[in-house]
Amino acid sequence: MEKRGLIVRTKGPGKTLVVKLSKYADPASGRTIVVGLVPSIEYLPLPVMMKKLGDQGYRVEPSLRRSVVDVAIGFMKGEFHIAYLPIYTLAVMRQLGAEFKILGAVALGGASIVGHRTPDVDKIFTSMLSTMEVLAMAYLRTHGLDHTYTKYYRDPRDVVETISKDHRSVAVLWEPYSLIAEAEGLRRTPLTNIIGDYHCCLLIARGNMHPDIIELIANAHRESIETLGRNIEFASQIFSRIVGIEPHIIVKASNEYKYTYHIEKGLLRNIASHAKGPLTNIEILENLVSQNVINT
């Protein structure tokens, strides 16, 4: 099993050896990197990053979860070496003592407000502790809908069906689910039309991983974003197998994002001005970026 890369042995106390499954070991010894994510087209650069790391002898194993809360919990429990998570979720995790390094941003935009063509809205659906929740707060404040009741969903596929039947509800959805909802007859308004560009997710790594591995992954991540344009067909085919979404939908939905690994503090200040609350405390967000982004 060791020769096949399924397990790794490391030195333990005294003369003992510690045997672990490769996916639970540090990638420096296990050569396996487990990445946590939800099914979002924002992470389309992942297959390109996987290939770049594969060329250097590392196996990347995607682990798909239903919600960013599930990814956050998995990361804090040590189930992933790296993970894609909203910067606003990371702010909460950092306050709870989670240790991680930020390898870069992923994309700007990509979410929409979805519902029927009616001004009488009494419910807004959003995912919890996420960019969607921040955008929901911004939408409600911008439209003076303080009376609107907020409900949380874990699976965006379920909420599309819910709002299709409820003409007084809307939902904040990421891609491809807002495009899927539009194809089913619902109205879709990109949030960038309302508040401008905004950051969503960052790629993070465990804080205790070997610095050389963190730098290696960070470089692969940045190169994957820089070269995504000329690798879009390859990326969409591989990503389709990971998330179970048709490649043509992935390609179309990718146009809703601006892929970048740069983190712009000005965009954080902008979203904080539109959405007041603990997820958008600008001092915490700016400190998070200043203290945890690696320099390569």
CATH code assigned at 60 = 3.40.190.10
What was the pLDDT predicted at 19? 45
What was the pLDDT predicted at 271? 95
Give the separation between CA 14 and CA 131, rounded to whole angstroms. 47
Residue 170 counted as domain residue = no
What was the pLDDT predicted at 18? 44
Give the separation between CA 85 and CA 71, rounded to whole angstroms. 7
β-bridge mates for residue 86, sequence order: 201
What was the pLDDT predicted at 146? 73
What was the pLDDT predicted at 31? 93
Segment holding 290, helix H or strand E = helix 282-292
Residue 260 counted as domain residue = yes
Q: How many CB atoms lie within 10 A of CB 51?
A: 16
Angle, CA 69 vertex, CA 240 and CA 219 arms, to 5°: 55
Q: How many domains does the chain have?
A: 1
Rounded CA Rg of the chain:
20
| Parent domain of 67 | 7-107+200-264
Residue 256 counted as domain residue = yes
Q: How confident is the prediction for the chain on average, in pLDDT?
A: 91
pLDDT in tens, 246-288: 999 999 999 999 999 999 999 999 999 999 888 999 999 999 9
What was the pLDDT predicted at 20? 45
Cβ atoms of 195 and 142 closer than 8 Å = yes
pLDDT in tens, 186-199: 999 999 999 999 99
Residue 153 counted as domain residue = no
Q: In terms of Cα–Cα distance, which of 80, 74, 45 is closest to 61?
A: 80
Give the separation between CA 255 and CA 250, rounded to whole angstroms. 9
Residue 2 counted as domain residue = no
Residue 18 counted as domain residue = yes
What was the pLDDT predicted at 1? 47
DSSP 188-234: EEETHHHH---B-EEEEEETTS-HHHHHHHHHHHHHHHHTGGGGHHH
Residues of the chain with pLDDT under 50: 1, 6, 8, 17-20
Residue 103 counted as domain residue = yes
Residue 44 counted as domain residue = yes
Give the separation between CA 34 and CA 63, rounded to whole angstroms. 7
What token pair was written down for 204?
A: 């993070």
